[in-house]
Amino acid sequence: MTRATAVILALSVLALAVAHLVLPLDPMIALRRSDPATATLLLTQLRLPRTMLVLGYGAVLGTTGAALQAVFANPLASPDITGSSSGAALGAVLAGYWFGMTGPIALAACGGAGAIVALALLLTLAGRSAAGPSLLLAGLAISLAAGAATSLVLALAPSPFAFYDSFEWLMGSFVDRSLPQAAVALLPAAICCLLLLRRARALDLMALGEDVVASLGYRPRRIGIEIVALSGVAIGACVSVCGAIGFVGLIGPYAGRLMTRGHPGRALVPSGAIGGALLLLADLAVRFGPAGRTIPVGVLTTVAGTPLFVWMVIRMRTRVAA
């Protein structure tokens, strides 16, 4: 990635974050005139955690997506398609509606555990250097199973409103999240992502095959487990606060690798930046939706991301055929 691209990318993310924080502008200005104290409160207590969460969650999806794709040597291995987001949702739902946990830290821990279990299952079902189709199928199976289990847990939950009030959260939403909630999701996620970045060089070399990496003294199996665990914790923490959001973890790394001339490890940082930018855009768009209705942001990213996913699958198929 050239320095110019890096600067442009960083500035775009910054501009989007500022826009996300202050838009729509009119009510903010009106409130500022009538009640400056409330306006400040609104900005720091409501708008700021939301912007932080959106940017952070997007960055987590992009970074972990890029790392998982590098480890599985598969451009489709994003958090949602590997089933780790669904696993995290199941973990958090189980903890929240079944075991009655309410503390955000406990929920985040259970979300992380759910994501790690899903990724560990994927490793056993499909194996690490799994080819595209078998990884997809194993991920699909895990997603479906975790989704069904989540529904079952909600249906049998002691609270009769479990289904209703979990809907918005599970589809991915950033409405009315507090600063402590943002901290619970983003602190562990940030630590995990920084630890992932340390592996950028090894992940680049992973492109040459595991034996080459091992011949240089790295331990590919240990790196694989480390990346799965770190990604699981980061995704789980975010999912437990904001729900599962699809396709950002697929598109972010795809665009990130275009910026690093195909290098899977070097793509971690740009993938994170693009993931953050994409989710900021999506959440901004949701905010300008019909008044009085909240469209879960996860619905929007899925609608926008599906065509790209289909295109990638078709490309993969033609390559296998060729």
Partner 1 sequence: MTSRLTVQAAEIAGRLRRTSVNLEAGQLVAVIGPNGGGKTSLLRACAAIDGSADAIEVDGEDIRTASPARRGRLLGYLPATRDLVWPIAARDVVALGLASPDPSRVDELIALLELEPLAGRPVDHLSTGERARVLLARALAPRPRVLLLDEPLSNLDPYWVLRLLQLLRGIADDDGTGVAVALHDIDRIGVFDRVLLVNGGEIRADLPPAEMLTAAEFSRAFRIARGRSGWQLSP
- State the nearest-atom distance from the C-beta of 270 to partner 1, in Å: 15
29 binds partner 1 (CB under 8 A): no
* Contact partners, residue 8, CB within 8 Å, separation at least 6: none
Among 1, 31, 39, 207, binds partner 1 (CB under 8 A): 207
Q: Does 197 bind partner 1 (CB under 8 A)?
A: no
The pair of structure tokens assigned to 264 is 């899977």
Residue 256 interacts with partner 1 (CB under 8 A): yes or no: no
Select from 67, 73, 116, 235 the one that contacts partner 1 (CB under 8 A): 73
- For residue 176, state whether it binds partner 1 (rule: CB under 8 A): no
Q: Which is nearer to partner 1, 130 or 237 (CB)?
A: 130
From the list 57-65, 181-189, 213-221, 296-304, the region that binds partner 1 by CB under 8 A is 213-221
Q: What is the C-alpha separation between 44 and 147, in angstroms, rounded?
A: 35
Nearest-approach distance from CB 313 to partner 1, in angstroms: 15
Tell me: does residue 211 bind partner 1 (CB under 8 A).
Answer: yes
For the chain, the maximum distance between any two Cα atoms, rounded to a whole number of angstroms, is 68
Q: Of all helices (H) and strands (E), which one includes residue 194?
A: helix 179-197
Nearer to partner 1, 180 or 201 (CB): 201
**Which segment (82-90, 180-188, 205-213, 228-236) binds partner 1 by CB under 8 A?**
205-213
Report how far Cα 52 is from the mean position of its chain's Cα atoms. 14
DSSP state, residue 250: H
Please state, in angstroms and rounded to a whole number, the distance separating the CA atoms of residues 298 and 244: 7
CB 135 within 8 A of CB 75: no
